[in-house]
Amino acid sequence: MSDNQIHNHLNNALNALKQGGLILYPTDTVWGIGCDATNVKAVENIFKLKKRNDNKALICLVADDRMLKKYINKIPETAFDLMNIEDSPITIIYDKPQNLANNLIAEDNTIAIRIPDSEFCFQLLRKFNGAIVSTSANISGNPTPKSFKEIHEDILKGVDYVVNLPDENLGTKPSSIIKLSEDGKVQIIRK
C-alpha cells in the first residue's frame, strides 16, 4: 500500500472521528471499532452497533505516555514497568479516569487503556490528539474476527468509515488486560 493511500485513510478516519462518527480500523491486536473517547453519543453508537450492554466497559487507545496523562491523573509506576517489559500487547485498567465520556468509564470508576504498537494507530492518535475507543469488530457474543473478511456485514455497514488496510500486521487475539489499583494491587483480568 502506498504512502498516499495510507495518508488518505488517516485523513478520512480523522474526519469521521472529528464528526462523531465510528470507524473500523486495524490495530496491533484485532480489527477494532473506534470513536472519539470523549464523545458520549459516539460511544452510545458503538454499544448499539455491537448490541452490547452499556455496563460493559470498552478499551481506549492513546499514542504515548504524554497522552495517557491527559486521561489518568495518577499513573502507578508499575504501569510503566509493565509497558516496558511486556513484549505482547497489554491493556491496563487504571483508577479514576478523567476527560473521557462518562459512558466509557466502568461502574467502579476505572478505564482500560492501551498504547498500541501499530504505526497506523500511532499516526491516527497523534493527528487526532486524543484517545480513541478500540473494541473488537464483532456483534456482542459472537467470536472476534481474526481477519477483515470475517467481520460481520452489520458492522461494516454500521460504521462511518472503514480503514481498509491489509491485516498482515494484526495479531489474532486481543491484548492481555491487567488491572492496576492506585494502592499498588495488580490483578490479571485476561491473559
Q: What is the pLDDT of residue 86?
A: 67
Using the CB atoms, write b or e for 110-145: b if 16+ within 10 Å: bbbbbbbbbebbbbbbeebebbbbbbbbbeeeeebb
From the list 179, 188, 167, 191, the residue with the least C-alpha distance to 28 is 167
Residue pointed to by grid coordinates 466502568: 106
Q: What is the pLDDT of residue 88?
A: 78
Q: What is the pLDDT of residue 10?
A: 93
Q: What is the pLDDT of residue 87?
A: 72
Q: What is the pLDDT of residue 116?
A: 92
Per-block mean pLDDT, blocks of 10 residues, the chain (191 long): 81 96 92 96 95 82 95 87 77 94 93 92 96 94 87 95 72 72 74 72
Q: What is the pLDDT of residue 53?
A: 77
**Count of CB atoms situated within 10 Å of the CB of 10:** 17
What does each C-alpha distance from 154 to 50, 81, 138, 139, 140 come to in angstroms?
9, 40, 9, 8, 12
Q: What is the pLDDT of residue 167?
A: 56
DSSP 114: E
Residue 165's contacts (CB-CB under 8 Å, 6 or more residues apart) are 1, 6, 9, 25, 26, 120
From the list 1, 11, 17, 32, the residue with the least C-alpha distance to 170 is 32
